[in-house]
A and B are shown apart, each in its own frame.
Chain A
């Protein structure tokens, strides 16, 4: 019984942690740019693919094994560096200030394009990079064994969340971003370069998506279609937590992660729709999510 509860909690936490990293990027981009980015899932997949490409190259160079983490970081960074100018500067910039739903459709179009770009570059075959997962050995909890790498993901998620939160609340640049979130026009009048803030925010979002992708790659088989599910799952997280809220993303990821882990162990039939169920339930009772402040209605 204890074992079962512990399994659910640990599985849930591991699942929640990668989901949180994806959702963190999504919610941050929405907070700053007011864009609900469907293509976020596509960037996640690109991160996974680029890791699956770079890690075997890294091993063929014969460097110390620990540096593989650095390779994964670099691959995520590379994806963000390539994708940000194309998406933000090239496409999304044209639609700022327009209807939110229209922009969702634009990102849906970008998502479609990214799907096929993955197929064109990496083909239809599955890629596997299991080596990094063996790096940290296994840990024992009672009678349960957990892969150290999986647990390290929880640490990574906490680190990412904390870092972004500290940046926003404790540094001057972070305060500027908060000002832009609150009112882009006035911030612009005060001398803030809004375009630069948008670009930087989008870069952070894209990097987080790619990071989640590249650190999940060792756990899964990297193949066509990994982005489809991620889109809705991360949507569910940010909807539950409230769009644009970091603490909300934490709670949302935990709710979805735990609910899913509990379902996998207790009620496997419900595994697929439990998160949609959570999302619909939250929207019905608290449409703006758990952590969304009230807003004045404009006449």
Chain B
């Protein structure tokens, strides 16, 4: 019985979430901020993982990241909507909807062409965003202070509350996603990865699964973008730039497509490398990141997630 409980996704998630929330009280404020940003990036990475299960990698998740961020930002500044949870949720829905519209276009492509077309989309958005002066052009704009159920927290607790909110929402999303991965379309995605043509012959639609995966990935990316915007308090077109998209791909390759928590671990790793080398080697953080990235691809080609999976598989066999 206890072993069975340990293998229960909901139990694991609630345990992890409460652990993180408690730990958040004791760790310094900068680390809380770093983890919140890592969760934002991890959400986008989770989207790419969802696509990766179907054998696709998007090199343009900056597209949905930017849309999510700008949705939250514009709702905040133009419509006066400042409730963080509501903003995250609306960004999720809206970006998912945009994803659903462009997914049929993208789902026809595979491999490098899928990556390149998604990249093209994100760069078109970038080109448009830096030209619209009404929303700050290349400088972007500042988001209003966020509130929670109508209460605006005092500044020293604001970071922590956003941290808790992001953990709760991400936890729920992760659980739902775990169930999706084990559902019929989630498992067909794995088959599509192995051999698309056979899946079609067996009567399932690889196209539909890809559309569904892309829509989910878009929603997650939008939520991540909104969270990143709210955490930073600022949004600019850099959200959609191809180098940002590259970081998302980095997170998902480092994590591998086998495990959900691994994605957040990878994202946290990226953020920590970035903040530490940004602080101690401000001119060479890209160099450190690049070297680290190459080494991790050489030595753990199937990602951190493969360790997790090995660990839990051992557990199950006992």
Q: Verify A280–B297 contact, CB threshold 8 A.
A: no
Q: Verify A284–B123 contact, CB threshold 8 A.
A: no
Is B92 in the interface zone, CB < 8 Å from A?
A: no
Is A162 in the interface zone, CB < 8 Å from B?
A: no
When C-beta atoms are compared, the residue in chain A nearest to B298 turns out to be: A94
Question: Number of A interface residues, CB 8 Å?
Answer: 46
How far, in whole Å, are A101 and B60 apart by their CA atoms in the complex? Answer: 12
Knowing A94-B298, A284-B105, the reply to whether A101 touches B111 (Cβ < 8 A) is: yes
Q: Which residues of B contact A59 (CB under 8 A)?
A: none
Which secondary structure dominates chain B's binding surface? helix
Q: Which residues of A contact B287 (CB under 8 A)?
A: 112-113, 115-117, 120
Knowing A108-B246, A276-B123, the reply to whether A116 touches B112 (Cβ < 8 A) is: no
Knowing A101-B115, A106-B294, the reply to whether A273 touches B120 (Cβ < 8 A) is: no
Chain A min CB distance to B237 (Å): 10
Most chain B Cβ neighbours within 10 Å, of A117, A283, A288: A283
Q: Which residues of B contact A112 (CB under 8 A)?
A: 286-287, 289-290, 293
Is B291 in the interface zone, CB < 8 Å from A?
A: yes
Q: Interface residues of B toward A: which range?
A: 35 or more
Q: Verify B289–A287 contact, CB threshold 8 A.
A: no
Scan residues 110-130 of chain B and give those whose CB is less than 8 A from a CB of chain A: 111-113, 115-117, 119-121, 123-124, 126-128, 130
Q: Verify B112–A36 contact, CB threshold 8 A.
A: yes
- Specify which of B119, B197, B253 is in contact with A235 (CB 8 Å cutoff): B119
Knowing A269-B131, A277-B124, the reply to whether A111 touches B290 (Cβ < 8 A) is: yes
Knowing A101-B59, A273-B127, A283-B113, the reply to whether A116 touches B284 (Cβ < 8 A) is: yes
Chain A min CB distance to B2 (Å): 39
Binding site for B on A (CB under 8 A): 36, 38, 91, 94-95, 98-102, 104-106, 108-113, 115-117, 119-120, 228, 231-232, 235-236, 239, 243, 269-270, 272-274, 276-277, 279-280, 283-284, 287-288, 297, 299
What would be 24 A-B contacts, judged by CB atoms less than 8 Å apart?
A38-B246, A98-B301, A99-B111, A104-B59, A104-B115, A106-B293, A108-B246, A108-B293, A109-B290, A109-B293, A110-B294, A113-B287, A116-B283, A116-B285, A116-B287, A119-B284, A269-B131, A272-B126, A272-B131, A273-B131, A276-B123, A276-B124, A277-B124, A287-B117
